[in-house]
Chains A and B, each alone.
Chain A
Amino acid sequence: DARVTQTPRHKVTEMGQEVTMRCQPILGHNTVFWYRQTMMQGLELLAYFRNRAPLDDSGMPKDRFSAEMPDATLATLKIQPSEPRDSAVYFCASGLVIGGRMGETQYFGPGTRLLVL
């Protein structure tokens, strides 16, 4: 049963600290998405990768957020320095694009629940 995995599941940190969240997409998937969910904003797209290349990170605050895919099995989302307003649930999702057309859905990981004090 293939699943997207995310670590850590929960993170509590102090303002100013660096936070790194990791995602392992479903094996064989070539697209990775990072979403943030808050009560006020709902689900927002932060970044999107295809074949490890960043295609869209317009939803991400550039001054403190960075997203990378060091290899096909790992995606990272880093916040440095973290702020209380970054407290949210961060979801990673993966999908498969074949011949330029994306498959029907994105499969979500369990999320990382971040609290910045």
Chain B
Amino acid sequence: AQKITQTQPGMFVQEKEAVTLDCTYDTSDPSYGLFWYKQPSSGEMIFLIYQGSYDQQNATEGRYSLNFQKARKSANLVISASQLGDSAMYFCAMREMLSGSARQLTFGSGTQLTVLP
């Protein structure tokens, strides 16, 4: 079974609008971390935001916020006030702290976001 599912291969958003990128995850581990990375066309992976499974509040980093719904096992990324420079591939990832894969990140297939002028 897929551990990380990103159901939106591509998304379009108008500049200055907000956009939500979906991510659902599957784990039986009670302790885990959820991450979002941005990969622009230049290819580098840029860390955006982190949410721990025990964190009570949703994580925020500037224009990025993570809508964490633990019961639904979803960790959607919300980008407010989109900018042209936000056009990139976005990956959701998870690290399970107690299982054998505690050391690595498991990535979703990504969502290609295009911000329209």
**Residues 67-97 of chain A: 1 if any B CB is under 8 Å from the residue's CB, otherwise 0?**
0000000000000000000000101010000
Indicate if the CB atoms of A111 and B91 lie closer than 8 Å. no
A45 and B104 within 8 A (CB): yes
Size bracket of the B interface = 20 to 34
Q: Note all chain A residues with C-beta closer than 8 A to B95.
A: 102
Central interface residue in B33, B47, B104, B109, by most chain A CB within 10 Å: B104
Check: A56 CB closer than 8 A to any chain B CB: yes
Tell me whether A108 and B44 are in contact (CB under 8 A).
yes
The answer to whether B104 and A108 have CB atoms under 8 Å apart is: no
B81 proximal to A (CB < 8 A): no
Interface size class of A (residues with CB under 8 A): 20 to 34
CB of A42 within 8 A of chain B? yes
Which chain B residues border A56 with CB–CB below 8 Å?
103-104
State whether B109 touches A33 (Cβ < 8 A): no
Which residues of chain A are near B91, meaning CB under 8 Å? 43
Docked-complex contact A106 and B105, CB < 8 angstroms: yes
In the complex, which residues 60-115 of chain B have their Cβ closer than 8 Å to any Cβ of chain A?
91, 95, 102-105, 107-110
- A48: B residues at CB distance < 8 A: 103-104
Closest Cβ of chain B to A47, distance in Å, is 10
Residues of A near B25 (CB, < 8 A) are: none
Q: Which residues of B have CB within 8 Å of A43?
A: 91, 105, 107
- Output the nearest chain A residue to B59 by Cβ-Cβ distance: A104
B108 to chain A, nearest CB (A): 8
A109 to B45, CA, bound (A): 7
Does B104 lie within 8 Å of A33, measured CB to CB? yes
Q: Given that A56-B104, A105-B35 are contacting pairs, would A42 and B110 also be in contact in the complex, using a CB cutoff of 8 Å? A: yes
Residues of chain B having any CB pair with chain A under 8 Å: 33, 35, 37, 42-47, 50, 52, 91, 95, 102-105, 107-110
Measured CB to CB, the residues of A under 8 A from B are 31, 33, 42-43, 45, 48, 50, 55-56, 89, 91, 93, 102, 104-111, 113
